[in-house]
C-alpha cells in the first residue's frame, strides 16, 4: 500500500466535489461546483468533462438504464445527462424553496436504500448564515429534515445503514455528528457529537466510509484526510499535497483506492500548484460501493434547466 498521494488529474477545479466510482465503467465521476461541470476519468479513456447551466454540487447515479445522474444544483434537484457536444442536459426533478437568496446545494449522497440526501448553504460563507438545510428526496418529494446549518457537509452512512453522519464545515462549527438512522422510514434521530474537529487539523469537509465502518473525512485547510473509528477515535491521517482536500471516495476494481478531490483557491498557489486536482491514495482498506438513487414512478419534473 502507498500512503503517498498521487496526482490522477490536474483538473484545476475551483471546488472539486462529490467523487463517485462507477464500477461498470471503471471510471470516477466528480463535479466542479463553480465550474458548473461534471468530470469523468478512467485509466483507459482519460479525462473528460461536461458543462451545465447552474452550479453543480453533488451527484448520485440513477438506478435506471440511461437515466444519468441525480444532481443537487442551485435551484433544486435535477436529472443530468452528459451530451456529445460537451454540454450537460438537465431536467428538473424537485425545486427547492431556499431560506434566502444566493443559496445552492452542497454535499450530498444516497443512503443505503437509495434515497438522496443533500444540504444547502448560503454561497457567501463569510455571512455565517444558519439558513442551511438538510433535505431528503425519496423519488416522490423533497423534504426538509434538519435546519440551523451553515455549511452542511460530510454526509455518510455506516455499512449497515443504521448510522448517518453529517458535518458542518464552517469555522464557527467544525463538528461531525452521528445519528441513529431508521432504514425503513429514512429518518435520523439521536443526534450526538461524533467528532469535534476543532481538536484536529482542518475543517470537516466531504467524507466516505470503509468496510470496517470507519469514517474518512477531508481536513480542509490542513491538507489531510483523517480516518475515525466508529467510536470517534482518530485512527490515522494521510497527507495530500494541497491545503484544501474537499471530498474522498473509494474506487478502483477492488474499492481499495481512496480518491480525493480538492479546491483551487485564488491568490498565490506557488506552494500548492496542484490545487484543484484529483488525487489517489492506497490506505490499505476497502470501501463500500455507493448506492444509486432509486427513482419513484410518481416522481415528475417540476422545474427545468438546460445545458450550455
Per the CB < 8 A criterion, the answer to whether 46 and 33 are in contact is: no
Q: Is 268 a catalytic residue?
A: no
> How many secondary structure helices (H) and strands (E) does the chain include?
0, 25
Which three three-digit cell numbers place residue 63?
Answer: 438506478
Angle at CA of residue 55, ends 64 and 209, nearest 5° = 60
**Cβ–Cβ < 8 Å for 276, 13:** yes
- Catalytic residue (choose from 111, 138, 205, 210): 205
φ, ψ of residue 148 to 5 degrees: the values are 60, 40
Rg (CA), the chain: 17
Q: Tell me the C-alpha distance between 56 and 21, whole Å.
A: 17
Residues 6+ apart with CB under 8 A from 231: none
Quote the DSSP letter at residue 293: B
Largest CA distance in the chain: 52
How far apart are alpha carbons 60 and 294 in whole angstroms?
Answer: 10
Residues tagged active-site:
205
Amino acid at each position: 500500500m502507498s500512503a503517498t498521494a498521487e496526482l490522477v488529474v490536474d483538473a484545476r477545479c475551483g471546488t472539486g466535489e462529490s467523487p463517485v466510482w462507477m464500477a461498470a465503467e471503471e471510471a470516477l465521476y466528480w463535479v466542479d461546483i463553480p465550474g458548473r461541470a461534471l468530470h469523468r476519468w478512467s485509466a483507459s479513456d482519460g479525462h473528460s468533462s461536461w458543462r451545465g447551466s447552474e452550479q453543480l454540487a453533488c451527484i448520485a447515479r440513477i438506478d435506471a438504464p440511461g437515466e444519468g445522474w441525480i444532481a443537487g444544483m442551485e435551484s433544486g434537484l435535477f436529472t443530468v445527462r452528459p451530451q456529445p457536444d460537451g454540454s450537460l442536459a438537465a431536467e428538473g426533478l424537485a425545486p427547492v424553496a431556499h431560506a434566502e437568496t444566493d443559496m445552492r446545494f452542497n454535499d450530498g449522497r444516497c443512503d443505503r436504500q437509495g434515497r438522496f440526501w443533500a444540504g444547502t448553504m448560503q454561497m457567501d460563507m463569510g455571512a455565517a448564515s444558519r439558513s442551511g438545510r438538510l433535505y431528503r428526496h425519496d423519488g416522490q418529494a423533497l423534504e426538509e429534515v434538519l435546519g440551523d446549518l451553515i455549511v452542511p457537509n460530510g454526509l455518510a452512512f455506516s455499512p449497515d445503514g443504521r448510522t448517518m453522519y453529517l458535518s458542518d464545515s464552517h469555522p464557527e462549527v467544525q463538528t461531525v455528528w452521528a445519528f441513529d438512522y431508521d432504514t425503513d422510514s429514512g429518518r435520523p434521530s439521536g443526534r450526538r457529537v461524533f467528532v469535534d474537529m476543532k481538536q484536529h487539523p482542518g475543517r470537516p469537509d466531504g467524507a466516505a466510509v470503509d468496510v470496517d465502518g470507519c469514517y474518512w473525512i477531508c481536513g480542509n485547510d490542513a491538507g489531510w484526510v483523517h480516518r475515525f473509528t466508529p467510536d470517534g477515535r482518530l485512527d490515522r491521517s494521510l497527507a495530500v499535497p494541497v491545503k484544501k482536500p474537499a471530498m474522498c471516495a473509494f474506487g478502483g476494481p477492488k474499492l481499495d483506492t481512496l480518491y480525493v478531490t480538492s479546491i483551487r483557491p485564488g491568490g498565490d498557489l506557488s506552494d500548492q500548484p496542484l490545487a484543484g486536482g484529483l488525487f489517489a491514495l492506497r490506505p490499505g482498506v476497502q470501501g463500500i460501493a455507493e448506492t444509486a438513487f432509486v427513482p419513484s414512478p410518481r416522481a415528475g419534473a417540476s422545474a427545468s434547466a438546460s445545458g450550455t
